[in-house]
Structure formats: structure tokens, C-alpha cells
Structure 1
Amino acid sequence: MDKTTQLREEKIGKLLLKFFIPAVIGNLVNALYNIVDRVYIGRGVGDLALAGLSITFPIMIVIAGFGMLMGIGGSVLESLNLGKKDKENADKVLGNTFVLIIISSIVVSILCFIIKNPLLKAFGASANTIQYADEYLSIILLGTIVQNLGFGLNNSIRSEGNANIAMITMIIGAALNIILDPIFIFVFHMGVKGAAIATVISQTANAVWVISHFRSKKSVLKLKKENLKLDLKIVKGIVAIGMAPFAIQVAGSAVNILLNKQLIVYSGDSAIGAMGVINSISMLIIMSIISVTQAAQPIIGYNYGAKLYSRVKKTLKLAVSGAVFIGIVSDVIIQLFPENIISIFNKEPNLIAIGSHGIKIFLCMLPIIGYQIIGSNYFQAIGKAKISMLLAMLRQVLVLIPLLLILPKHLGITGVWIAAPISDTIAFFITAFMFKKEVKKLDVYELDNAPCMGA
């Protein structure tokens, strides 16, 4: 059974699991990029260096956001075109995605270099942490193109049904990073610079692997020279669909900037380091949930395009169940072992005390976050980018940022921690209402496309 036929005919449960396993392995391994850097730097350099890395996190989120903007936008269009049996246009989308990633990466890296120092200070860098943040970011910016090509185009590999290849992409980069980090940090004594160099080398390996795939016989989609000319209609489609995940990334950056500012005001550098650890743990869990959406996206996109709506409904039901289950299990572990989790990154008692208290509150609504992410990404998978963006922005911007501005004034650092679960809860109810309303439309579409019975 070829890659596109299985999207149409294979049992949904088996198909979703087939796509989920490599996606979650790849994404968790991918999450290790930042986590491994933080563990080695937290233990090998110190808590101030760990805080310095946390300062760069919002900038790195925005940089990765451009790869996500083009990569996810392109992959959704590719899935929809493959579902319509229009492979020629799907190849054109891939070529346009490739060019857009390169252009956007060059522009964003140059801009970041120009305003790097004021940017770091604006994001919460203190006199104690700015040196570490500057050293790390300067090298990471040099790898912007390879980072976004590797991670962005990996979505296209997934959209064509090659989930195992997408998993290998993530494993290659993370395995290299895990090997190179201790060499550059401890053997060559390069500190945070060494961690950044290891990361860029690993990202370069990712990019080479992904591009080689689309030039090989194994790929469904082909990266062709004639498709590298930008098509305005395709560009608009990619940007429109990819804007929702990009908005999530930028919103995440804005939230992290505000978090750093509030943590400095109501606690200090150790709190920023603790927040960096919490972000790392959150990333592991959220990436697991996103793996469910990534597994579901090509199935939903293809079958929605092919008007096989019963398969779309089955996929959604299983995806929601899986995402909620991941959230429940993760929440239980965090509530039971917060100190053990934080101490993996750093043994400084104050950081452990702040972090273990914060993580229990900040991530306590993980079960409903899973539902909210599935609901938001469903609209993205069927090409309804504006609704997807609105739902994505609820948690990260429209509700959370006002809470972060108001609550700490009355509750101190506790106000920072409780802002997230309150925001998660409000976003959940709004998403549930809109998601259920949209899913009900599938029943109508299914009846409209049912074969007419003779009288």
C-alpha cells in the first residue's frame, strides 16, 4: 500500500499509531536540543548561565516560528493537494516553502544581530546574565537557515506519509547534540559557546538529511528546480495557514519576555533559571501532545480533501483521547515529584525551591491543554487558518498576558504561577464550544456527499 493510499484506506487507529510513534520519538528527541543544553550548562557552568540561556529562549522561539510558519503552512497545503490527487501542485508548494524558509531565515537573523544587545536587555538580561545570553545567541543566529530548513521541511516529510523518515531527522540532530555538548563544554571548556556550536552543527546535519530526502527516490514530494520560483497564490496560502502556529510561537515569545520581567521584579535571577527549567519540562509534554496533532494532521487533511468525513471524525476522537491521556499522566508525575524533576538541571537549593513550587501550579491544567491544542490544530488541518490562530492566541496572549500583568501585583510570584492555569481553563471552554460546533458540520458534509439511492 503506497503512502497516500494508506491515508485513505487503512484503519484509523492503526494509522494514527503508525504516525504517532515516530512523531513522538522525533519530537521528544528534538526537545532534547534545548533540554540537553540546559542540563549540561546548569551543571557544568552554573545557575547564572542557565538563567542566561533562559533569556535567549523567547528570541529562539521567534526564530523557529518562521520555520514553523512556512513549514506547517506548506505541509497542510501539500496534504490537501495530495488528497485531491494533485501531486504537481503539491510539489510546487514544497519548492515555494523551501525558498520562503531561506528568505525569512536570512532576514530574521540579520535583524536579530543588529538589535541583539538591546533585545537581550529588554527581555530581562541582568548584568550577571547578559554575557552568557550574548555568547549563546550570537552563535545560534548563524545557524538560523539550517535550523529552519531542517525543522520546517520535516513537516513536509510527515505530510507525504513518511513518518519514520521524519523521526530519523529528529534523532540525527539530537543524537549529535547529545554527543557534542559535553565535548565542547567539558573537554574544550567552551561553556555556553560550546553548547551553541554543538547545536548549530546538529541542525546542519538535520538540514542536509531533509534536503537529501526530497532529492531521493524515497520521497513522494520532489524538490525540483523549476518549483523554486515563488507563486503568489501559493505563498499567500502557505502564510495564511502557517500564521496560526507562527502566532503561537510569537505569543510564546511575548509571554516568556513578560514572565522574565515579572520574575526579575518579584524574585530574581534564580526564578528566571527555574522558569527555564519549567519551560523545558513543558516543552517535553507539549511536544508529546503536538505529536498527536502531527500524526492526525495528514490523515485529517487528506481525508477532508477527499471528502471522507467519517475518517476525519474517527481521527479526531482518537486524537483528543490521546492528547488528554498524555496531559493526565504528565500532571500526575509533576505533582508527585517536582523537586526531583527540577534538580536534574541544577542543584542550587534556592532554584529547586522556587522551581518545584512553580511547576506544580504553572502546569496543573495539562489535561485540558491537550484538548485545546487538538481543537485549535483541527481548524489548521482543514485550512481554516483564522479560527485556528484565534484559538491558539487565547491561551498564549489574549488571556494569559493580561493575567500576568495583573495578578503578580496582588499575589507576588504566586500570581505569575497561577496565571497559566487560569488562562488554560478559559481557553479550554471557548475552544470546546467552537470545536464541537465545527465537528458537527462533518455530519452534514457526510450526508451531502453520500451516494444517492435509487427510488
Structure 2
Amino acid sequence: MTMGNVAESNKTFGEEKIGKLLLKFSVPAIISLMVSEMYNMVDSMFLGQAIGADAIGALTIAFPIQRLFLAISMLIAIGASTSVARSCGDEDYENLRTIIPNAIVLMLIIVCTISAGIFIFQDTIIKGLGASKNIFPLAKDYVSIILLGVLFQSFTVIASYIITAFGNTKIVLLSTSLGAIFNVIIDYLLINVFSYGIKGAAIATVISQIIAFIYVLTEFMKIKNDLKFSIKLTLNKAVSIGIIYVGFSTFIVEISDAIVAAILNNLLSSYGGDMAIVTVGLTTRVSMFLFMTVMGISSAMQPIAAYNYGAGNYTRLKEVVKTSIIAVSVSSTILWAIFMIFAEPLIGIFINDSAIIESTAKAFRIIIAVFPCLGIYYLAISYCQAINRVKASFKLSIYRQLIIFIPLVYTLVIGLDMGVLGAWLAYPISDVISFITAAIFIKYTYISLEILEMHQIYKINKAKFTKARLANANI
């Protein structure tokens, strides 16, 4: 990635038609998110058909652990890539040589420390996540193996987002696609042909993550060589804080899924047993296809918005927000209608038990009842991150699941004694509240942009007036 390429990416973010630019970044982002989620989904499909509900339960228990590492990766990826995009907008290329190596070292320290801790205390952690006697041995087999691949996965995510910030829209898609394709192939061989069961699924996941890592590493080394930076096991405190500061909202969004999953596993196991845990796992996997579109458009908007904010182009930034709102609203509504209609066939991909499919479909339709509202919520978080409104993005990121959903689910399930049904109803109620709050945030920041835009116009006009007056004085 030469400086000429950086200048070309600046032209792309700053001048290209916004609708085309958003589509150009959204499609690879959506597909890459879909493909990245395929690791757990593919494991669920093969194991659900080969072993049954206990395997789905084991993967549901493992989900918070996997989500934790994805959350850490996204924290650093979003923080670093947003800083890279802003630096490109400011044409501060020297800063890139500090941000990028710092992000990699930060990842190494955090991921290695946490993965080691989970491995040492995995028995306690798996039981604490709600594993029953039937599910525990399967969950432990799976978790102990996937921990070997988390470092490779984290590097792949972070490096891919950094490369994307330079204008390469294909890297995330190619890396995740490569890993997912190999995951499907190896899953089939180890589970269906060699009957390795849940261990085979975990091994397939690790191998495919290593393959994706190798590909991204070769692309990352091109940037390293062109920018001429070195990676040393030291951290720049200011840069590290900046990365965490910006990316923390995304971390909260991702880790909230893990926290909610862990709480639901424990809370519902006493009301619906393993069946409730299986339902949580199945609805989570199917609804992920919906969230990928929303998250993909939001993440695609972010570097575009960050660049134009850094460049001070507030008029274009407002157009980016408006176009993104239309795109996320239309796409999420279309997908929501499809999933409401075809809930049973979609759930049937993961398991062939008709009773489980029927009960899960009912729960799923309640959970996604007002899903189109959520597009604005996630867009608001990414937008606030892009324009450096970190406090606002943080408040939004913790709002839906940690502040609204968790107290609400306890109130409905235990306080009002609604049981499992209360858990499903908590989703649409919290989604509506979150939508209203996010809409207010966007309106507020939009007004702030208009004020900045007026100040900018005033300064330009004042400079022109001063120049004209000096010219007249010289005459």
C-alpha cells in the first residue's frame, strides 16, 4: 500500500458517489460478517444433524466465549481502522506508522492473557455459563480446542479492518470466505466421514482460522513494507487509549451478546431445562443473518463518515448519514419479512426435530417482531464513533442489552412470572425503546453537524471577504 494508493483511497472516500460508495463497502462487509459467523453456524448445522440437541446446547454454552474474543478483536479493529481512516483524511501519514503496530501488540497482549485464563479455569467457566451434566463434556471438548485458534482469528479481523480503512473493500470478504470454505470442507470430513463429533468441529474451526490468517498476513506485510513500520512488544499509551476509547462501544455491543447469552442460559435452564438453552442457541444463530445486514451497512458507513469528518466535509457527511439510514431501513425490512415467513425452514437447517423447530419458530417470531427498528440503533453507534462522539456511542452501545434488556428480562421472567415467554417478549420491547433513543441521538448530532457546517461557511466567507478587502486596499 503506497502513498499513491492512500491518496486514491482519499479520493474514493471524499469524492465518489455516496450511494455507490456505501454499496461498494456494504456488500463485502455484509458477506464477510455472514461468512465469519459461519464458523459457529456450520458447526451447529453439522453437529445438530449428526448428534442432535445436546450438541446445539454445547455450542450455545461455548458461544459467549467465542463472542468474547470476537468482541476484543472488533474493539481493536474498529478503534484502529477508524484512526487510520481519520489519519488518511487529515493526510497524517506518519501517525499510521504508530497506530498499526500498536494495534497488533495490543491484540497479542489482551488475547494471549485472556485465552490462557479461560483455559486454566474452563471447567468453572463452562459450568457457570449454564452447562448441564449432559452438555458439559461436549462443551468442554469444544472450548478447549477453539482456544488454540483465537489468536489467529483476532489478527485476521484486526488486520483486515486496517487494510479496509485504506480503501481495500475485498480483504475482509476474501479472508473470511477462505476460512469459511475450508471450515465447511473440514467439518464435513471430520464429523460426517471420520465421526470425530464435536472435537472434529472445533479442529475444523482452528485449521480454517489459521488458513485465513496466513492469507491476511501476506496482505498485511505489503502495508508494513510500504509504510516501513516495525512491530515491537511495546505500547504507546496515548495511541492504545485512543484505540480502546473509539472501539469500546463496538466491544460493548459484541460482548453484550455474550453476557445476554450467559444470563439466558442460566435463567431459562431452571424454567425450560436444556430445551430452553437449545432454543436460545437456535434463535441466536438464525437471527444472526438479520444482524449481519445491519452491522454490515453500519461498519461500511463508518470509514466513509470518519474520513469526511476528518476532512471537515460536513455537507458530505450529512449525506452519508441520510443515505445509510435509507439503506439500513429498507434492507432490514425486506429481510425481516422473509425471515418471519420462512422461520421454520430456516431453523430446520440446524436441526431435524419437528417439535423443536415448531417451538423455536414461535419464539423466533416474537424475538424479531420489530427488528427493522434496530437498523437505526446500530447505525447511530457507528456514526457517533466515526465523528468522535465516543461518550454518545458508549451510552448507546450499553443501552439496549445491558441497561434495558437484562433488567426487563428478569422483570418479565421472574417478577411477573411469565417464564420463558417473558424472555422472548423482552426482545421487541427493548428494541422499540432503543430505536426511539437512537433516533434522538442521531437528530441531536445531526443538528451539531449543521452548526459546524455554518461555522465552516462563515470562516470561508470571512476569508474571502478579508482577501477581497486587502486586494481593494492594495489598489
What TM-score comes out, normalization by structure 2 length? Answer: 0.92
1:186 maps onto 2:192 in alignment: yes
Equivalence for 1:366: 371
Q: 1:10 to 1:338 in 2, by over 3 A?
A: same
Is it true that 1:159 corresponds to 2:156 in the alignment?
A: no
Select 2:419's aligned residue among 407, 412, 432: 412
Deviation at 1:226, TM superposition (A): 5.4
Q: 1:252 to 1:223 in 2, by over 3 A?
A: farther
**2:134 alignment partner, SS class:** coil
- Is 1:422 matched up with 2:429? yes
Moved more, 381-390 or 126-135: 381-390
1:253 corresponds, among 237, 240, 258, to 258
Q: Are the equivalent residues in 1 in contact too, given 2:400–2:430 (CA < 8 A)? A: yes
Shift of 1:152: 2.2
Using the TM superposition, give the Cα deviation of residue 222 of structure 1 relative to its aligned residue in structure 2, in angstroms.
4.2
Contact 1:214 1:222 (C-alpha < 8 Å) held by counterparts:
no
The answer for unaligned runs of 5 or more in structure 1 is none
The root-mean-square deviation of aligned C-alpha atoms, in Å, is 1.6
Of the structure 1 ranges 439-448 and 364-373, higher mean CA displacement relative to structure 2 is found in 439-448
Aligned counterpart, 1:398: 403
Query: Hey, what's the Cα distance between the residues in 1 that align with 2:150 and 2:451?
Result: 45
Q: Which of the numbers 110, 122, 125 marks the counterpart of 2:128?
A: 122
- Give the whole-Å Cα distance in 2 for the aligned partners of 1:252 and 1:187: 33
Counterpart position of 1:351: 356
Cα displacement string for residues 113-138 of structure 1 (whole angstroms, at most 9, x for unaligned residues) = 12111111111100010111101100
Q: In 2, distance between residues paired with 1:45 and 1:239?
A: 41
Alpha-carbon distance between aligned partners in 2 of 1:323 and 1:361, rounded to the nearest angstrom: 21
- Partner SS for 2:222: coil
Checking the alignment, whether the CA contact within 8 Å between 2:301 and 2:382 is kept in structure 1 is no
Counterpart for residue 312 of structure 2: 307
Matched residue of 1:215: which SS?
helix
Q: 1:389: Cα distance to partner?
A: 1.4
Equivalent residue letter for 1:359: F
- What displacement does 1:66 show? 1.2
**Corresponding residue number in structure 1 for 2:217:** 211
Match of 1:82 among 66, 78, 88: 88
Tell me, yes or no, if structure 1 residue 382 matches structure 2 residue 387. yes
Q: Aligned letter for 1:148?
A: S
Contact 1:94 1:223 in 2 (8 A): no
Post-superposition CA distance 1:41-97 (Å, at most 9, x none): 100111111111111111111121111111111111111111100112123111100
Q: Distance in 1 between matches of 2:449 and 2:289?
A: 32
Match of 1:171 in 2: 177
In the alignment, is the contact (CA less than 8 A) between 2:299 and 2:382 conserved in 1?
Answer: no
Does 1:434 pair with 2:434?
no
* Higher-Rg member (1/2): 2
- Hey, what's the Cα distance between the residues in 2 that align with 1:223 and 1:102? 21
1:101 aligns with 107
Percent identity for Structure 1 against Structure 2: 34
Instruction: Check whether the contact 2:290–2:336 (CA below 8 A) recurs between aligned residues.
Output: no
Which shows bigger deviation, 440-449 or 416-425?
440-449
Return the offset for 1:334. Answer: 2.4
Alignment of 1:278-357 (within 5 A): 278-357=283-362
SS of the residue corresponding to residue 162 of structure 1 reads: coil
Change (3 A) 1:100 1:335: same
Query: 1:95, 1:223 within 8 Å by CA — same for their partners in 2?
Result: no
Find the aligned partners of 2:36 and 2:226 in 1 and give their Cα distance.
Answer: 23
In the aligned structure 1, how far is the partner of 2:434 from the partner of 2:162?
29
Please say if residues 105 and 232 of structure 2, whose CA atoms lie closer than 8 Å, have aligned partners that are also in contact: no
Q: What is the aligned partner in structure 2 of residue 61 from structure 1?
A: 67
Q: Retained in 2: the 8 A contact 1:301–1:382?
A: yes
Pairs aligned (count): 454
Post-superposition shift, 1:259? 1.1
Structure 2 stretches of 5 or more lacking a match?
1-6, 469-475
Q: Deviations over 1:146-172 (max 9, x none)?
A: 011111222112211101122111111
Aligned counterparts of 1:175 and 1:226: Cα–Cα separation in 2: 31
Q: Which residue of 1 aligns with 2:30?
A: 24
Q: Is the 8 A contact 1:290 1:373 kept in 2?
A: yes
CA 1:223 to 1:326, structure 2 compared with 1: closer, same or farther past 3 Å?
Answer: farther
Equivalent position of 2:79 in the other structure: 73
